[in-house]
Amino acid sequence: MRATMNDSTDSNTENSGSGSAQRILETAEQFFAKFGFVGTRVDEIARAAEINKRMIYYHYNSKEGLYRAVLEKHLKPMIELSRHLLHADLSPAETFKRLLNSYFDFLATHRVYVRLISWEVLSEPNQLSNLGFRRQTFEEVVAYFEAAQKQGRLRADIDMSRMVISSMVLCFSYFSQMQYLQSFFSEILDDPEQFALWKRTVIAIFLRGSGLEDC
């Protein structure tokens, strides 16, 4: 068992500053991905990071704050890219293609994020509702395609929010349910060639089904 008498001194030297915050974040990410938000204890994160538990609250205020920071670390680059694509001079069809390709590639390279969200699906209450910027970006994407729909560039009988969510689910489930999906295929699904095939298939389904392909 580690000594605790000098915790305060240690926290003012080795564990202060951005270095300790980063170590906490990286350690917490591993625990949350393995055990979920509910199954992770702050004490365990502190021990694994070899850091004074008080420093976790100093940097992140609470377990919830630390968890949000882990999610934001993964999400923010993808959200920034999505917003950039929405404001680029692209057709709605090309915007959809690039958004879906970017989201799929993000999931392929952020498997920890996939595990985190998979835990969220099983958890109550759900912590994702606390990420306002995530919901805001989703609404911006929906609004973009609703505007295109009003211009007659998509079928009028399709709900845009459900179209966007459905396309996201088909991307996310490829990774979150890969073991299940693998039972239907002889090809190894965790492979770049199979990634490309899945993306092409999903894009074709939505472009043709929504009417975007005809624009």
Q: What is the pLDDT of residues 142-184, one digit of tens each?
A: 999 999 999 999 999 999 999 999 999 999 999 999 999 999 9
Rounded CA gap, 56 and 213, in Å?
50
pLDDT at 115 (0 to 100): 94
Contacts 24+ apart (CB under 8 A), 172-181: 172/107, 172/114, 172/117, 174/104, 174/107, 174/198, 175/107, 175/108, 175/111, 175/114, 176/114, 176/117, 176/118
Residues 113 and 197 in one domain: yes
The CATH number linked to 136 is: 1.10.357.10
CB 154 within 8 A of CB 209: no
CA-derived radius of gyration, the chain: 21
Q: Which of 204, 58, 190, 82 is closest to 134 using CA atoms?
A: 82
Residues 130 and 208 in one domain: yes
For the stretch 28-67, pLDDT in tens is 999 999 999 989 999 999 999 999 999 999 999 999 999 9
Q: Is residue 99 in some structural domain?
A: yes
User: Token match 């000594």: residue?
Assistant: 3
The CATH number linked to 34 is: 1.10.10.60
pTM over 0.75: yes
In terms of residue numbers, what domain contains 117? 73-214
Q: Is residue 36 in some structural domain?
A: yes
Q: Is residue 54 in some structural domain?
A: yes
Rounded CA gap, 46 and 19, in Å?
14
Number of folded domains that form the chain: 2
Rounded CA gap, 22 and 28, in Å?
10
Residues 50 and 156 in one domain: no
